[in-house]
A and B are shown apart, each in its own frame.
Chain A
Amino acid sequence: MLGTEKAIPLLKGLGITMREFLGAFGGKTTVTISYPEQKRQVADRFRGLHRLERYEAGPYKGLEKCIGCALCAAACPAEVITVVAGENTAEERYSPGERYAVVYDMDMLRCIFCGMCTEACPTEAIVMKHDYELADDSRREPNKFMYHKEDLLDREYYW
């Protein structure tokens, strides 16, 4: 009668929004993540900034996993990675095999985070961690966006 059948759903709608308002106002967590202070938990398989790994246990403990084979550079579709290999010697041993990476450079301006390098790596030396705050303020200056071996090897990561 007189449009009450239309008015009641409207009032119900008002009730629903008020319930959500009181919930959010009463401290129920909002969907917003206050970004710099709080960070979104990324998925386990999130592909962030790379890291060069070392053996953490076993006979090769402490040695670099990378053997300088440059399969990652070959797999890379964006030509990010430059590997220059060198020979291990008895006095200076970096990795278990014959060769190790003398130079391992990544130009992160080119990287598309496809993960092909990690797929290609036979020793799982290069892995992708969850760090994604890679912004910087210059393309021209060296070492900004250009990650060298010492930046990637054993680098600290958040999670």
Chain B
Amino acid sequence: MAEIFTPQVVNLIVRGGLMIFVLLTTFAYLTYTERRILSFFQWRLGPNRVGPQGLLQPLADGVKTALKQEMVPRKADKVLYFLAPTLTLSASFTTFALIPVGEQVALSSVPVAILFFLGLSSMAAYGLILAGWSSQSKYPFLGSLRTCAQVISYELALGLCLLVPIMITGSLNINDFGMMYRSENWNWAYLVVLAPAAILFLISSLAETGRTPFDLPECEAEIVAGYHTEYSSMKYAMFPMGEYIAMVAMSAMVVHMLLGGYHMNLGFVDLTYWAGTWTAGPPEAWGWGAYGDAISLTGKGFSTTMTFIVKLFLLIFTFMWIRATFPRLRYDQLMRFGWKWLLPATLVLIFATAILTAIIGPVQAPAVDSAAQAAMEVTLNARH
């Protein structure tokens, strides 16, 4: 027993638990934020009664959902029925083990993170499909079929969009995407392909996470609530939870692809390091420990994480903005857009990227900082 719980493993468990706690809180407050922001888009006030400015609303919602009666359809395939929400949620949570949220602030540094990321987002979709199927009910079944077709169509474009930064950096590590902007041989001409790639990625991630213009899986008017019609109480709550966290993960990917990850270098001033200097003095005085900075709320880990969170929120706000603007697509429109426009567009982009990299040459992302390396070593050691 003593050999299993080595300091590294304990470290990982604590950090993983911290990550899950942070993600759950994020989910709770994202629901609140989304409701408030959508209401401002519609000239309403939104939930503002529970606590100051309604800030305790997620708590009330959580208690209410947890106390709801749990209903399981008699004919449901019990194993799959219980597995489905767990699958969606755990897949979404696991994505965040791959995404660095700040310099030296990452749960792991996986060399093939992108493949893992794509695999996990497909797994989340399996959860939705299984949910509809195992309910043994007509509407959820229709909803899950829609989800199935939609996710397969848009996953192609999603993966192909990620090929653009992969081709530029020659790396499958998410950390390198953000770091490529700090590379010595970075060329701003790459933005010509990176910006459209990130936008197309954003569009396909809307479909992948079932957000508004593409929220056909849970189209209320036609198929009640889609795949989760037969779910109630916390099992129901796990679906939106998974979806929101997937949305955060997708936004995080866009931040790494286009917005320069967790750094804020405007050319003339590096805002991240400026903030770090402001909170912790000159860079020489900063701690460089793997997690110490993030917890001590000063220095590099903190300032980069904060930069990342600000950028992340901008992206999430865009998701909400899109939700407030566009009506849901018809099913044939969804399919036509995915196959006849999005997929060819990404293929053209990849072609353009190939030409660009041939002309300019690939970007060598700066070496991952020592702590990300350390995090990776922890991951590797944990296996032994």
Enumerate chain A interface residues (CB-CB to B < 8 A). 2-3, 10, 13-14, 16-18, 20-21, 24-25, 28, 30-32, 34
Contact = CB atoms under 8 A, between A and B. Distances in A.
B54 to A, nearest CB: 12
A25 B40 contact: yes
A3 B196 CA distance: 14
B43 A31 contact: yes
B43 A30 contact: yes
A13 B326 CA distance: 8
Contact of B44 (A2, A14, A32): A32
Contacts, number: 42
7 A-B pairs with the lowest CB-CB distances in the bound complex, closest first: A24-B40, A32-B45, A17-B325, A30-B43, A31-B43, A21-B41, A32-B44
Nearest to B348: A2
Contact of A24 (B41, B321, B325, B341): B41
Given A21-B40, A25-B40, A30 B45 contact: yes
Contact of A17 (B48, B324, B345): B324
Contact of A21 (B45, B48, B321, B345): B321
B323 to A, nearest CB: 10
Contacts of B326: 10, 13
B83 interface: no
A10 B324 CA distance: 12
B76 interface: no
Nearest to A3: B341
B378 interface: no
Q: Which interface residue of B42, B324, B325 has the most chain A CB atoms within 10 A? A: B325
B166 interface: no
A21 B40 CA distance: 5
B321 A20 contact: no
A21 to B, nearest CB: 5
Nearest to A11: B325
A81 to B, nearest CB: 39
Sorting the interface of chain B by its residue count into under 10, 10 to 19, 20 to 34 or 35 or more gives 10 to 19
A36 B321 CA distance: 30
B322 interface: yes
Nearest to A14: B325
Interface string B309-327: 0000000000001101110
Contacts of A18: 321
A25 B41 CA distance: 8
Given A3-B341, A21-B37, A30 B325 contact: no
A14 B324 CA distance: 9
Contacts of A17: 41, 321, 324-325
Contacts of B41: 17, 20-21, 24
B43 A24 contact: yes
15 contacts: A10-B325, A13-B325, A13-B326, A14-B325, A17-B41, A20-B41, A20-B42, A21-B37, A21-B324, A24-B40, A30-B39, A30-B44, A32-B39, A32-B44, A34-B45
Contacts of A30: 39-40, 43-45
Interface in B285-326: 321-322, 324-326
Contact of B43 (A2, A10, A20): A20
Contacts of A31: 43-44
A91 to B, nearest CB: 57
Given A20-B42, A21-B37, 5 more contacts: A17-B41, A20-B43, A30-B40, A30-B45, A31-B44
Contacts of B40: 21, 24-25, 30
A42 B321 CA distance: 34
A20 B42 CA distance: 7
A18 to B, nearest CB: 7
Contacts of B324: 17, 21
Nearest to B213: A10
A3 B322 CA distance: 19
A132 to B, nearest CB: 21
A42 B128 CA distance: 48
A20 B48 CA distance: 20
A24 B38 CA distance: 11
Nearest to A15: B325
A112 to B, nearest CB: 32
A135 B65 CA distance: 30
Interface in B315-363: 321-322, 324-326, 341, 345
